[in-house]
Structures are given as structure tokens and as C-alpha cells.
Amino acid sequence: MAHVWRGVVHEYINRLPVDDNDEIVTLAEGGTALVRSADLSEQLHADVYIKVEGMNPTGSFKDRGMTMAMTKVKSSGTQIVACASTGNTSASAAAYAGAAGLECAVILPAGKIAAGKIAQAIVHGAQLVAVDGNFDDCLRIVRQLTEKYPVALVNSVNPYRLQGQKTAAFEIVDTLGDAPDIHVLPVGNAGNISAYWMGYCEYAGKKTASTFEESWKSEKPVATKVPQMWGVQAQGAAPFIAGHPIDNPETVATAIRIGNPASWDYAVAARDDSHGNITCVSDKQILHAQARLAAKTGIFVEPASAASVAGLLQHHERGHVPEGATIVCTVTGNGLKDTATALGDRDVNPAVIAPRLEEAVVALGL
């Protein structure tokens, strides 16, 4: 019988901090595809796989963490959740809060959220507040709010979020049979790189700084090794390159437009302990990688997600990618969330013809 995927908490319950009386809030997230890119593999003389996180229920990897965080909020009896968001966290929080029967408040940087993500938060029933400031201002406000009011914080500073997100690394090892040599992913608030590193380490029988005591149930190691973690930031929002938080982050990749990453220390540990690196790419490189991935691999991702592929291509140009390596690139969110940026100044009005075959043949130049 076919195995029906039950969501990351049920699938990996032995490695997650779930209590017997927790009522699991899930939308069957995770179980996303790992697609080999012939185009990138050929160019790099390596095996390049794309972990397609846009396949999650709300179209980004945020759902992996939200199932775990919302399960715990529900058990705690708190009625309202809140988050600061560059868009995808609010889309995910709103959906899972709805499923859990909770209220959801969202604090967003005004004018900096892709239209599809705003639509998701609204349709899923969240209450939105726009701040004349950036994501870092929003996170500060929501942290203060949740300290003073009976409201649960569901940003990735909530440790249950990273617990859920680490399952992406489990899925990759379960699919490939072992950890890859290199894992490439975009870095914004730096929760995801920390979560992947935790997942890879736990599967190889090691703890990390972010490992939960409760989730460490001494399961047998599954992987024989851990990958190098290669993080990629946008040039205009690259605090890890500067070595300190930056004040006015700016990039077309709004999901990683963050100057003061919350998971700073975990991300630095992931980079250094894995003998990896964090680099940055320009908006132009990001948009080029986005178009290439869509046209030549068949996967349409949002700009922030394409930063991982842009970073990998830049490492290749600099001669830093070993031939024959097994490489996984996480693409974090679905391209349909932000079609305006993807289309840019492309001509979106195809020639209009009379409804006759011959006219179509002429228009197509066949």
C-alpha cells in the first residue's frame, strides 16, 4: 500500500519534543520533492539536487516549523499567536492558527511584502498591522508584545520552530541514503541554516548548540557524515559578511531582507562547525538564478530562494565547488507568491491573433 505522508511531526515524532497529550496541528507539511537538476549538475560536474520547499501547504518551508510551534501553543492554552514577518511566516502562521482554532496577529514592514503573501495572511484570517520600518523593527515590537500580553510568539526565536524545520535535513538523508557533501541555502533571520545543521547533526549522532534535551531520544544514527553548510545572503542585506548587524537592509529578495538575524550564534556555529561559509550575491545574480532555475530545471521559486542557486553558481565561477560532489540547494518558497518581481520588465502581452491555426503557425514562426 502507498505510504500516505502524515506531516513532519507524525513522520519524525521520535526525534521531536512531542508530549503524549499534545494535539498535533498539521496540514500534512513536509515530504517535499528532492529534484536532481540536470542543468546545474552538468555545468558544475557534480550532482546537484533541489529541495523544493515551495511544495509545502502555504508554499514555503515555514510550515515545517509552524506545525510544531502551533501544536505547543495549542497545548499551552494560549488563544492568540503573533509574528513579525517578511511575508511567509505570516502566511504560515495564519493558516496553522486557523487550523488550530487560534487568533493570529501579524506585524509587517509596510510596503515590503509580496502581494501573494499578503493575500494568504488575509484570506487565512489573520489580523494585520503594517509598521513604517523594517523586519527587525517588527520583530522587536512583537517580542515586546508577547512579553507583556497573553500572546504566543511564533517567529523562529520560538525554539519549537527550529525543531520542526530540522526535519528537512532528515528527509534529504532519507532520500539520498546519506548526507550530501554540501548544503546550500539562503540566510535571512538565520533560523533555517541553524535548523538544518541541527537535523544533519542529530541524524549523524551528534548534538549542536540548538539541540533540545527532550528531542534527544538517543535514536540510532542514520547518516555517516554531515555536509558543509554554505549560507547565501543578499548583498544589500548581508550582516554575516559585515560581521555585525546592519541598519538598512535592502534587496529584491524580501524574504531575506533582514539586518539583525535572531539566530546569529547558531548560524555562526553551523557555518564554522561544518567547515562551511556564508557568502553574498547581488540582486542581479538572484534574478538570473531565478529565471534559469525556472527555465532549465522547471522549478519556479521566489527571489530569496534563488539566492541559494546564485550562491552556488558564484562558488563554481570562483572554482570552489569540488567535481563529483553531492550538493543540495534548498529553494525555500514558491515563485507564485511574487510574480511581479519575477516578471520584472518582461513583455507579458503575447501577440493576439484571429482564432485560426494558420495564424498561430505564423505567430510561432513554425
| 154-256-317 Cα angle (round to 5) | 140
Residue nearest to ligand PLP (CB): 333
CB of 179 to ligand PLP, least distance (A): 20
Q: Specify the 3-state DSSP secondary structure of 159.
A: helix
Which residues lie closer than 8 Å to 219 by C-beta, 6 or more apart?
14, 15, 202
We find the least distance from the C-beta atom of residue 268 to ligand PLP, in angstroms, to be 13
Q: Least distance in Å: CB of 210 to ligand PLP?
A: 12
Distance CA 86, CA 84 (A): 7
- Least separation in angstroms between residue 203's CB and ligand PLP is 19
Give yes or no for a contact between 185 and 332, defined as CB atoms under 8 angstroms apart.
yes
Residues composing the chain: 366
When the beta carbons of 46 and 93 are compared against ligand PLP, the nearer one is: 93
Nearest to 309 by CA among 182, 193, 184, 168: 184
CA–CA dist 222, 172 (Å, integer): 11
Backbone angles phi, psi at 263, to 5 degrees: -95, 40
Residue partners of 242: CB distance under 8 A and separation at least 6: none
- Grouping H, G, I as helix, E, B as strand and the rest as coil, residue 143 is helix
Of the two residues 171 and 302, which places its CB atom closer to ligand PLP in the complex?
302
The least CB distance from residue 301 to ligand PLP, in Å, is 8
Nearer to ligand PLP, 172 or 190 (CB): 190
Of 46 and 88, nearer to ligand PLP (C-beta) is 88
In the complex, what is the shortest distance from the CB of residue 338 to ligand PLP, in angstroms, rounded to a whole number?
9
* Cβ-based nearer residue to ligand PLP, 53 or 202: 53
Contact indicator for 180, 172 with CB cutoff of 8 Å: yes
Looking at beta carbons only, is 173 or 258 nearer to ligand PLP? 258
Least Å distance between CB 193 and ligand PLP?
Answer: 6
CB of 358 to ligand PLP, least distance (A): 45
- DSSP code of 313? H
Q: Cell numbers of 289, please? A: 538564478
If the CB atoms of residues 186 and 227 are measured against ligand PLP, the closer one turns out to be 186
Q: Which three cell numbers stand for residue 84?
A: 513579525
CB-based contacts of 348, cutoff 8 Å, min separation 6: none
| Residues near ligand PLP (CB under 6 A) | 60, 62, 88, 156, 186-192, 255-256, 302, 304-305, 332-333
